[in-house]
Structure 1
């Protein structure tokens, strides 16, 4: 194996170790009670090594949060072809909310959103980046729905997409506020269904 390849493998291993260790410490002690020095020390690496892989503690969360996009690669293949486009979108969102609830947890997601709101955001931020897998998936469903005539063409596609994806972010935000008082899996179904009642194609169109 070439030295450059060995260095790349070692760097990837270090990055994964830092990621796993940081998340473990966050879970045990709380995000605000963990320092970068502590993460580096537990991994037996320098503080500089941490910064070679992550810009801040918040970036550790960003990397983990993006794991949900990988989940959609397998989910898409499981959708029954007989489902309507509206059913596909609701199923996708419900599976997303189950992942957030059961795999990441409200405390983790709250920290991700707090991090996002404490910084200057643009359209490339990972919470709103249109290139994220979830957004591309919803866009593909929307295209299919418009082509099949399931949705009205009274609004521009970008308007429809923007509001459909806003349902996702709004539901997560409310979950952070109300926590156990709100069932995000059921809530996203109700909200998106109400949107569909407004954008569904009418018989006279």
Structure 2
């Protein structure tokens, strides 16, 4: 094996160790109570080694979310083309919530949402970044539904998309609060179904404003 290959393997192992250790420490001590120095020390590497792989503590979450987004790439293959657009969106969210519940876990998401509350949210924040695969997938389904006339034209697309993705975040947030008292798969199904039933009501924006 070439020296350069050995270095690449060691670098990948160090990166994974830093990622796993940081997430574990965030979960145990809280995001704000963990320093980069502590993460590096526990991993037996220098602070500079941390910055070789991550730009900041927040970047740890961004990297993890990129891994999570890889899971969403396979969603279209799991959803029947015969389904209506509304059914496709509901199935996508059911798949997502099952994955978050069974593979990612409550503690990681609690840490993610807690850290989000401690910083200034921007449009490219990992929780609301419109370029994330899950958001692009829901947007694509929404475009399909609008083109087929499945939604009333009362609402603008960006308003529909905002509220559809808000259902996802709200469900996860409630799961963090209520924990085992709430089934996130059932919850997101109910929430999105109710939203769709509201979208299907024939009224005007002027009526809503009254």
By the TM > 0.5 criterion, same fold? Answer: yes
Given that 2:26 and 2:111 are in contact with CA atoms closer than 8 Å, whether structure 1 keeps it comes out as no
Question: What residue is the counterpart of 1:178 in the other structure?
Answer: 178
Question: What residue is the counterpart of 1:150 in the other structure?
Answer: 150
**Residues 32-181 of structure 1 mapped to structure 2, 5 A cutoff:** 32=30, 36-181=36-181
When structure 1 is superposed on structure 2, of 73-82 and 135-144 the one drifting more is 73-82
- Give the TM-score taking structure 2 as reference length: 0.83
Q: Distance in 2 between matches of 1:22 and 1:157?
A: 38
Deviation at 1:73, TM superposition (A): 0.8
Q: Distance in 1 between matches of 2:164 and 2:74?
A: 22
RMSD, aligned CA: 2.5
When structure 1 is superposed on structure 2, of 117-126 and 4-13 the one drifting more is 4-13
Deviation at 1:19, TM superposition (A): 1.4
- Consecutive unaligned residues of structure 1, counting only runs of 5 or more, are none
- Consecutive unaligned residues of structure 2, counting only runs of 5 or more, are 203-210
Question: What residue is the counterpart of 2:20 in the other structure?
Answer: 20
When structure 1 is superposed on structure 2, of 149-158 and 38-47 the one drifting more is 38-47
Q: Distance in 1 between matches of 2:112 and 2:7?
A: 31
Given that 1:68 and 1:96 are in contact with CA atoms closer than 8 Å, whether structure 2 keeps it comes out as no
Deviation at 1:103, TM superposition (A): 1.3
Q: Distance in 1 between matches of 2:23 and 2:125?
A: 21
How many residue pairs match? The answer is: 200
Q: Distance in 1 between matches of 2:26 and 2:158?
A: 38
